[in-house]
Amino acid sequence: MAFDDVDFEGRTAFITGTSRGIGKAVALDLADRGANVVSTGKTVDGREDLPGTIVETTEEIRERGGDSIWCQLDVRDDASVQTAIDETVDAFGGIDFVVNNAGAIHMAGFEDTPPKRFDLLMDVNARGAYATTHAALPHLRESDHAHVVTFSPPMPARPAPGKVAYALSKYGMTFIAQSLAGELDADDIGVNALWPVAAIESEATRHFGMGTPEDWRTPQIMCDAVAELFSRDPTDCTGNAFYDEELLAEAGVDDFSPYAIVEGSDPGPMSAQLFDPAYER
């Protein structure tokens, strides 16, 4: 675990989409740093074709000595989101961190993206982040160190041909984060967006054929970026749309090679260029 001096003992993190991938990695990392972790998502029962459940994530946290509960929810269902928030407060007394990680992915052209699929992307990504943060807001206001992060990219203000629905839904998450930062500034709640520069190894990365292992980094880079973000004063760090490399460089990281899946490889900015083809390091 990098950033070993970052300690979140006594804090409570509510994370959406923790069955696998970045969400699970962040859940484990925050728990290792002392935070109480609420593992949420739809998947309670395992599937052979899609490993991982929110229950398994909670069990793994407990096996590592951490404190965690799991709450089944669908971010499209306001009642289930509210129930999960209520169960979190009952278990841990409050909420300090909200990680809007749950996401739907569909990268296809307009003709191959029917309105029903458009609605799914918007409901899970943009509306899901909105609904989760809205339900958690009263408890975030009670925290003396409240942070919200959405896993979504900076908005380059240029069209996204070939993936208009997905891009719009992810930009929506960033727009929500940066807008709420201004609206909640008086409440001392930090609200930011965070996105990886390189592709992160996950089931989604493999499923959508985003390069090869030489192009990927481990989820630990996002874990470290979240740790750095949540360690900052929320009154000073809010309204940003960070790339992981940018945030970690500000923290003094100048060697990103340990994050590479394949030792000696130098993953390119595939994830950043997914939304901003002109992006250069």
Average pLDDT in the chain: 96
Distances (CA, A) of 221 to 67, 226, 232, 242: 23, 9, 17, 13
Instruction: Assess if residue 40 is contained within a domain.
Output: yes
Strand order in the sheet with 12-16: 68-72, 36-41, 12-16, 97-100, 146-151, 189-195, 241-243
Instruction: Assess if residue 207 is contained within a domain.
Output: yes
Instruction: Assess if residue 110 is contained within a domain.
Output: yes
Report the CATH number that the domain containing residue 191 is assigned in CATH.
3.40.50.720
User: SS3 for 241?
Assistant: strand
Instruction: Assess if residue 63 is contained within a domain.
Output: yes
Q: What's the total number of domains in the chain? A: 1
Query: What is the value of pTM for the model shown?
Result: 0.97
Instruction: Assess if residue 175 is contained within a domain.
Output: yes
Instruction: Assess if residue 195 is contained within a domain.
Output: yes
Give per-residue pLDDT as tens, 169-200: 999 999 999 999 999 999 999 999 999 999 99
Q: Along the 281 residues of the chain, how does pLDDT read in single tens digits?
A: 577 789 999 999 999 999 999 999 999 999 999 999 999 999 898 887 788 999 999 999 999 999 999 999 999 999 999 999 999 999 999 999 999 999 999 999 999 999 999 999 999 999 999 999 999 999 999 999 999 999 999 998 788 899 999 999 999 999 999 999 999 999 999 999 999 999 999 988 888 888 999 999 999 999 999 999 999 999 999 999 999 999 999 999 999 999 999 999 999 999 999 999 999 99
Instruction: Assess if residue 281 is contained within a domain.
Output: no
Catalytically active residues, by annotation: 166
> Which residue range is the domain that position 62 belongs to?
12-274
Instruction: Assess if residue 47 is contained within a domain.
Output: yes
Angle at 12 (CA atoms; ends 7, 13), nearest 5 degrees: 95
Tokens of 80: 């289930």
The candidate with the shortest Cα–Cα distance to 71, out of 41, 35, 107, 102, is: 41
